[in-house]
Amino acid sequence: MEAVILAGGKGTRLYPFTTDIPKPLVPVGSRPIVEILLRRLQKAGVSRAHLAVSHLAEQVIKTLGNGQQLSLDIKYTIEDTPLGTVGPLKLISALPEHFIVANGDVISDINITDLYQYHLKSDSLLTIAVQKRTERIDYGVLQSDSTGRVITFTEKPASELFVSMGIYIFARDILRYVPDGKPFGFDNLVLTLLEHRERVMSYPYSGFWLDIGRPDDYERAIREIDIIEQMLK
């Protein structure tokens, strides 16, 4: 298996931690975030990782090198201009028929092999790992009719939503929908695939998952470093 790691973001939500270092190198315990991800992928059987880098790219390259210390073959793709989350994939040559894509700030104990096999069996162009999250509004919410008369009122309602975990399996054929040299985000990709009635699958997962782009998840990662270290053994 091969993986593409999207590691070009500026990490503005993690300021001031990302003032002088790129988000993938923000430390969790003794390791950068992206190293934890790469070690998990290597354990799952990934042999080559392509890192799409941009902001402070030289720091990422200097830190990870060719991947030998992680028992990986690491290749780099550098964006001269920002291409969004999916656009950089068009810069990578010779990708296999199916490959893993992951945001460089994700930590999870998801079984990558199971996700990969699920994708192959589902015969989809894209499989998205998802997790259920409860979003609560800390206000009383009301609905009114056209005259302003209140019809319903709910105190602090909660909604259960499936959210993308930032871990995916792509079929190489998906790249025909990605424009060359133009910014193209994951949202653009999914909407384009749905518009063309392509097969997109979700893979629900309820285990450990942190999106370190969120400050509260970064704080949780620091608190639960023992769990994360156990994932790497």
Residue spans per domain, the chain? 2-130+163-231
Predicted local confidence at residue 218, as pLDDT: 85
Place of tokens 């270290």: 229
Contact 200/190 with Cβ under 8 angstroms? yes
Predicted local confidence at residue 132, as pLDDT: 94
Predicted local confidence at residue 15, as pLDDT: 62
CA distances from 192 to 56, 176, 187, 188 (A): 31, 11, 8, 6
Which positions are annotated as active-site residues? 156
CA distances from 196 to 50, 71, 111, 190, 208 (A): 28, 39, 30, 10, 33
Predicted local confidence at residue 90, as pLDDT: 93
Chunked mean pLDDT (size 10), the chain, 233 residues: 88 64 86 95 96 89 95 93 90 94 95 97 97 92 94 93 97 96 94 97 96 83 92 89
Predicted local confidence at residue 115, as pLDDT: 98
Q: Structure tokens of 122?
A: 């589902």
Q: How far apart are CA 218 and CA 224, in angstroms?
A: 10
Helix then strand then coil, % of the chain, to nearest 5: 35, 30, 35
Pick the CATH number of 2-130+163-231 from 3.90.550.10, 3.40.50.150, 3.40.50.1970, 3.90.1150.10: 3.90.550.10
Predicted local confidence at residue 88, as pLDDT: 93
Predicted local confidence at residue 79, as pLDDT: 85
Q: pTM score > 0.95 for this model?
A: no
3-state secondary structure of 110: coil
Amino acid at 178: V
Alpha carbon of residue 233 to chain centroid: 22
DSSP letter at 57 equals H
Find, among 74, 7, 23, 29, the residue nearest to 230 by Cα.
29
Q: Per-residue pLDDT tens for 105-148?
A: 999 999 999 999 999 999 999 999 999 999 889 999 999 999 99
